[in-house]
Amino acid sequence: MHIADGVVSLPVLAAGSTLAVAGVAVGLRKIDYRQIPQVGVLTAGFFVASLIHLPVGPAQVHLLMNGLTGIVLGWAAFPALLVALFLQSLLFGYGGITVLGINTLNMALPAVCCHYLFRRPLAGNHRRRATFLIAFAAGAGGVAMSGTLLAATLYFSNREFLGVAAAILAAHLPVMVVEGILTGGAVLFLKRVQPEIFEKNPRRLDP
Protein backbone atom coordinates (compact mmCIF):
# COMPACT_ATOMS: atom_id res chain seq x y z
CA MET A 1 0.00 0.00 0.00
CA HIS A 2 2.99 2.24 -0.43
CA ILE A 3 2.68 5.14 -2.88
CA ALA A 4 5.83 5.91 -4.84
CA ASP A 5 7.58 9.28 -5.04
CA GLY A 6 6.33 11.61 -7.76
CA VAL A 7 2.77 10.26 -7.87
CA VAL A 8 0.94 12.44 -5.33
CA SER A 9 0.11 16.06 -6.19
CA LEU A 10 1.68 18.81 -4.08
CA PRO A 11 -1.55 19.95 -2.33
CA VAL A 12 -2.47 16.37 -1.36
CA LEU A 13 1.12 15.69 -0.32
CA ALA A 14 1.22 18.80 1.86
CA ALA A 15 -2.13 18.08 3.50
CA GLY A 16 -1.27 14.44 4.16
CA SER A 17 2.16 15.26 5.55
CA THR A 18 0.74 17.93 7.86
CA LEU A 19 -1.84 15.54 9.26
CA ALA A 20 0.78 12.82 9.65
CA VAL A 21 3.08 15.15 11.60
CA ALA A 22 0.18 16.05 13.89
CA GLY A 23 -0.63 12.35 14.39
CA VAL A 24 2.98 11.49 15.19
CA ALA A 25 3.17 14.39 17.68
CA VAL A 26 0.05 13.15 19.47
CA GLY A 27 1.36 9.58 19.41
CA LEU A 28 4.73 10.52 20.88
CA ARG A 29 3.05 12.51 23.63
CA LYS A 30 0.88 9.54 24.60
CA ILE A 31 3.56 6.81 24.56
CA ASP A 32 4.37 5.53 28.03
CA TYR A 33 7.85 4.07 28.57
CA ARG A 34 6.19 0.77 29.58
CA GLN A 35 4.65 0.68 26.10
CA ILE A 36 7.99 0.86 24.25
CA PRO A 37 8.37 -2.96 23.90
CA GLN A 38 4.90 -3.21 22.35
CA VAL A 39 5.70 -0.37 19.96
CA GLY A 40 8.92 -2.12 18.91
CA VAL A 41 7.27 -5.50 18.37
CA LEU A 42 4.37 -4.11 16.33
CA THR A 43 6.67 -1.87 14.29
CA ALA A 44 8.71 -4.94 13.41
CA GLY A 45 5.52 -6.89 12.67
CA PHE A 46 4.35 -4.28 10.19
CA PHE A 47 7.84 -4.04 8.68
CA VAL A 48 7.99 -7.78 8.00
CA ALA A 49 4.34 -8.27 6.98
CA SER A 50 4.42 -5.52 4.36
CA LEU A 51 7.68 -6.68 2.74
CA ILE A 52 5.73 -9.23 0.69
CA HIS A 53 3.76 -7.08 -1.73
CA LEU A 54 2.00 -7.14 -5.09
CA PRO A 55 2.45 -4.08 -7.36
CA VAL A 56 -0.84 -2.52 -8.51
CA GLY A 57 -0.24 0.55 -10.69
CA PRO A 58 1.69 3.23 -8.78
CA ALA A 59 1.15 1.48 -5.42
CA GLN A 60 1.62 -1.94 -3.80
CA VAL A 61 -0.83 -4.26 -2.08
CA HIS A 62 0.37 -6.17 0.99
CA LEU A 63 -0.52 -7.17 4.53
CA LEU A 64 -0.65 -4.27 6.98
CA MET A 65 -1.53 -5.49 10.48
CA ASN A 66 -2.58 -1.91 11.18
CA GLY A 67 -5.84 -3.08 12.78
CA LEU A 68 -3.91 -5.04 15.40
CA THR A 69 -1.39 -2.23 15.77
CA GLY A 70 -4.17 0.26 16.38
CA ILE A 71 -6.00 -1.93 18.89
CA VAL A 72 -2.87 -2.31 21.01
CA LEU A 73 -1.11 1.04 20.52
CA GLY A 74 -3.80 3.62 19.80
CA TRP A 75 -2.25 6.92 18.75
CA ALA A 76 1.23 5.43 19.17
CA ALA A 77 0.54 3.65 15.86
CA PHE A 78 1.56 6.89 14.10
CA PRO A 79 5.22 6.96 15.23
CA ALA A 80 5.43 3.14 15.07
CA LEU A 81 4.33 2.96 11.44
CA LEU A 82 6.36 6.03 10.51
CA VAL A 83 9.55 4.30 11.66
CA ALA A 84 8.69 1.11 9.77
CA LEU A 85 7.86 3.00 6.56
CA PHE A 86 11.04 5.08 6.81
CA LEU A 87 13.20 1.96 7.19
CA GLN A 88 11.46 0.25 4.27
CA SER A 89 12.02 3.29 2.08
CA LEU A 90 15.64 3.61 3.16
CA LEU A 91 16.58 -0.08 2.97
CA PHE A 92 14.38 -1.44 0.18
CA GLY A 93 13.15 1.56 -1.79
CA TYR A 94 9.48 0.92 -0.98
CA GLY A 95 7.43 4.11 -1.18
CA GLY A 96 9.72 7.09 -0.85
CA ILE A 97 10.86 9.91 1.41
CA THR A 98 8.65 12.64 -0.05
CA VAL A 99 5.53 10.48 0.34
CA LEU A 100 6.47 9.25 3.82
CA GLY A 101 3.87 11.50 5.42
CA ILE A 102 0.93 10.52 3.23
CA ASN A 103 1.84 6.82 3.43
CA THR A 104 1.99 7.07 7.22
CA LEU A 105 -1.37 8.83 7.35
CA ASN A 106 -3.03 6.26 5.08
CA MET A 107 -1.95 3.40 7.34
CA ALA A 108 -1.90 4.95 10.82
CA LEU A 109 -5.18 6.88 10.77
CA PRO A 110 -7.20 3.67 10.17
CA ALA A 111 -5.19 2.06 12.98
CA VAL A 112 -6.32 4.78 15.40
CA CYS A 113 -9.91 4.40 14.17
CA CYS A 114 -9.71 0.66 14.86
CA HIS A 115 -8.51 1.44 18.38
CA TYR A 116 -11.58 3.49 19.17
CA LEU A 117 -13.98 1.17 17.36
CA PHE A 118 -12.78 -2.21 18.60
CA ARG A 119 -10.62 -1.94 21.72
CA ARG A 120 -13.53 -1.46 24.10
CA PRO A 121 -15.50 -4.44 22.74
CA LEU A 122 -12.37 -6.60 22.98
CA ALA A 123 -12.00 -5.66 26.66
CA GLY A 124 -15.13 -7.64 27.50
CA ASN A 125 -15.23 -11.29 28.51
CA HIS A 126 -16.61 -12.71 25.29
CA ARG A 127 -16.49 -16.25 24.03
CA ARG A 128 -13.58 -17.07 21.77
CA ARG A 129 -15.76 -16.99 18.66
CA ALA A 130 -17.10 -13.53 19.47
CA THR A 131 -13.61 -12.25 20.27
CA PHE A 132 -12.31 -13.65 16.99
CA LEU A 133 -15.10 -12.00 15.00
CA ILE A 134 -14.51 -8.62 16.64
CA ALA A 135 -10.77 -8.87 15.95
CA PHE A 136 -11.48 -10.08 12.40
CA ALA A 137 -13.56 -6.95 11.82
CA ALA A 138 -10.71 -4.80 13.16
CA GLY A 139 -8.14 -6.42 10.87
CA ALA A 140 -10.35 -6.30 7.79
CA GLY A 141 -11.57 -2.80 8.64
CA GLY A 142 -8.05 -1.44 8.96
CA VAL A 143 -7.19 -2.67 5.47
CA ALA A 144 -10.49 -1.40 4.05
CA MET A 145 -9.96 2.09 5.47
CA SER A 146 -6.34 2.22 4.32
CA GLY A 147 -7.31 1.07 0.84
CA THR A 148 -10.00 3.74 0.69
CA LEU A 149 -7.59 6.46 1.81
CA LEU A 150 -5.02 5.29 -0.72
CA ALA A 151 -7.60 5.32 -3.52
CA ALA A 152 -8.73 8.81 -2.46
CA THR A 153 -5.12 10.01 -2.39
CA LEU A 154 -4.56 8.87 -5.97
CA TYR A 155 -7.90 10.18 -7.20
CA PHE A 156 -7.49 13.67 -5.72
CA SER A 157 -3.91 13.82 -7.00
CA ASN A 158 -4.95 13.03 -10.57
CA ARG A 159 -8.45 12.13 -11.75
CA GLU A 160 -6.85 9.87 -14.37
CA PHE A 161 -5.98 7.51 -11.50
CA LEU A 162 -9.68 6.63 -11.07
CA GLY A 163 -9.24 3.24 -12.75
CA VAL A 164 -6.13 2.47 -10.70
CA ALA A 165 -7.89 3.52 -7.50
CA ALA A 166 -10.75 1.13 -8.25
CA ALA A 167 -8.29 -1.68 -9.02
CA ILE A 168 -6.50 -1.07 -5.71
CA LEU A 169 -9.75 -1.30 -3.77
CA ALA A 170 -10.65 -4.55 -5.54
CA ALA A 171 -7.18 -6.00 -4.95
CA HIS A 172 -7.54 -5.38 -1.21
CA LEU A 173 -10.64 -7.55 -0.84
CA PRO A 174 -8.67 -10.81 -0.39
CA VAL A 175 -6.13 -8.96 1.75
CA MET A 176 -8.97 -7.93 4.07
CA VAL A 177 -9.93 -11.57 4.61
CA VAL A 178 -6.37 -12.73 5.29
CA GLU A 179 -5.70 -9.75 7.54
CA GLY A 180 -8.89 -10.39 9.48
CA ILE A 181 -7.97 -14.03 10.11
CA LEU A 182 -4.44 -13.14 11.22
CA THR A 183 -5.69 -10.37 13.50
CA GLY A 184 -8.31 -12.66 15.01
CA GLY A 185 -5.71 -15.32 15.78
CA ALA A 186 -3.28 -12.77 17.19
CA VAL A 187 -5.89 -11.25 19.50
CA LEU A 188 -6.96 -14.66 20.80
CA PHE A 189 -3.32 -15.44 21.55
CA LEU A 190 -2.74 -12.10 23.29
CA LYS A 191 -5.93 -12.45 25.34
CA ARG A 192 -4.63 -15.78 26.57
CA VAL A 193 -1.02 -14.86 27.38
CA GLN A 194 -1.29 -11.13 28.20
CA PRO A 195 -4.93 -10.18 28.81
CA GLU A 196 -3.97 -6.93 30.54
CA ILE A 197 -3.33 -5.43 27.08
CA PHE A 198 -7.09 -5.27 26.64
CA GLU A 199 -8.01 -3.81 30.02
CA LYS A 200 -11.07 -1.56 29.92
CA ASN A 201 -9.18 1.31 31.52
CA PRO A 202 -5.60 1.09 30.18
CA ARG A 203 -3.25 3.55 31.80
CA ARG A 204 -1.09 4.10 28.80
CA LEU A 205 -3.12 4.72 25.64
CA ASP A 206 -6.43 6.51 25.79
CA PRO A 207 -6.73 10.30 25.86
pLDDT tens by residue, 22-60: 999 999 999 888 888 889 999 998 888 877 776 666 556
Cα(86)–Cα(104) distance, integer angstroms? 9
pTM of the model: 0.87
Which pLDDT belongs to residue 205? 40
Among 3-7, 67-71, 150-154, where is mean pLDDT lowest? 3-7
| pLDDT of residue 160 exceeding 90 | no
Cα(73)–Cα(181) distance, integer angstroms? 20
Q: How confident is the model at residue 204 (pLDDT cuts 50, 70, 90)?
A: very low
Cα(186)–Cα(167) distance, integer angstroms? 29
Domain spans in the chain, listed from the N-terminal domain onward: 10-198
DSSP strand E in 26-185: where? Answer: 53-56, 59-62
Q: Which of 197, 188, 176 is nearest to 132 (CA)?
A: 188
**CATH 1.10.1760.20 fits domain 10-198:** yes
More confident residue, 52 or 18: 18
